[in-house]
Amino acid sequence: MKLKHGGNKMNKKVISTLVIGTLIAGTLAGCGGSSDAGSSAKSSSGKTELELFSTKPENKDTIQKLVDKYNESHDDVTVKVTAPPDAGTVLKTRMAKNDMPDVIAIGGDNNYTEVEGAGVLLDLGDQDYIKDVQEAYIDMVYDVNKDKEKTIYGVPFATNAAGVIYNTEKFEELGLEVPKTWDEFIDVLQKIKDAGEQPLLMTYKDAWTSLAPWNSMAADLAPENFADDRKAGKTTFVGTHEEIAEKYLTLLDYAQDDYMGLSYDDGNKKFANGDAVMIINGNWAISQYRNANPDVKVNMFALPSSNDESQNKVTSGVDVLLGVSKNSSNVDAAKDFVSFMMEKENIQTYIDEQFSFSALKGVEQSDEAVSGVQEDISNGKVANFEDHYYPSGLDMAALVAEFSLNRANGMDDKENIDQFLKQCDEKYDVANVD
């Protein structure tokens, strides 16, 4: 799912980083892996063994398929996948023991920042494939490096996208065009409502889904340097995020009455069966719609938060980064494996099987269900998930869900917005420990 993000340090710094930060279990939780071994070593057959530590449970089978392909084509190297339960805790413990895997596959959010900030990853900026990686995603890696260092410690491998997913058949029946601006979007929502259809479906019983609209709107409307300035204590949510909060509440006007009581799974089934025209989520949800109704026809567009069309970018983050441990006893073999993974054919296999997007130029997702955002993604008109820049201890989903619940319970909008933004600042300050 969203799911939601320099330099060599002494081991004391590694431990400090781990104590301060908490890797988010939802992002790093893994499935059972094939190995619990540490760094690379020689096997009984004399082959070099590399360990790939994967933190994303959904991609285990595809990762293993690519690893098998690599192993079959190499006589001197064997890669084994480690994907243990509670991967976050395992990786955190191993970092503290200076026992990093040879290669890691991790999300490009604040969890990566903790790993990179511990100084345990190798600079991969000199690799040949880097020139083919989209600059927009390279910039996202720089942005989540601990000190904004312009060094590629993690190579963007696969990406995702979030926005407005819509029922194309209902759009056609109602004579609707994809909106490009905020005013056009509100006009479309109102036309749907006037036609007696449900404009938006919200599934806020699962609080994490409330972040989808927030991430898209904040990415478009927050001040350009907000993440850096907020971290440095130079600005606050209060005074900068009022428009975002107001527009967020406007969207709730077009949600179903029980938006706080509907779960993600149940909501996906309802949307798939035509109970609403639009839903705000990511490409990861589309397979669930199809599982519920194989005949459902959907597409996606960027949530147009601004009336300046140029500001409205597809919310897209680096879903999987590949990194190499500085302490691997077989750095060259580890770098060779990453090069293999970055071959176009292998990335195409991954994005096709995982229904994701590629950070590599020339490799595109061809599914019609996301054709509405593919052009922007290919052209780099993308913005990272805003919560990737928040401290890992800040539970923004809980804050946004409470904000939405207050609206459902009839709290005055101004009072609600003031309280919400004040809480954002208070919780941010508690979590902003370096």
The CA distances from residue 70 to 49, 74, 76, 244, in Å, are 12, 6, 11, 47
Burial class from Cβ neighbours inside 10 Å (0-12, 13-18, 19+) for residue 45 reads exposed
Query: Smallest Cα–Cα separation from 103: which of 330, 293, 312?
Result: 330
C-alpha to C-alpha distance for 114 and 211, rounded to whole angstroms? 22
Half-sphere exposure of residue 212: CA atoms within 13 angstroms, side-chain side? 31
* pTM to 2 decimal places: 0.84
pLDDT truncated to tens, each residue of the chain (434 aa)?
A: 334 333 333 333 333 443 334 333 333 333 333 333 344 455 556 789 999 999 988 899 999 999 999 999 999 999 999 998 888 778 888 988 999 999 999 999 878 888 999 999 999 999 999 999 999 999 999 999 988 999 999 999 999 999 999 999 999 999 999 999 999 999 999 999 999 999 999 999 999 999 999 999 999 999 999 999 999 999 999 999 999 999 999 999 999 999 999 999 999 999 999 999 999 999 999 999 999 999 999 999 999 999 999 999 999 999 999 999 999 999 999 999 999 999 999 999 999 999 999 999 999 999 999 999 999 998 899 999 999 899 888 999 999 999 999 999 999 999 999 999 999 999 999 999 86
Structure letter (DSSP) for residue 392: T
Q: Give residue for tokens 């109970």.
A: 275
Query: Smallest Cα–Cα separation from 265: which of 283, 244, 291, 246?
Result: 291
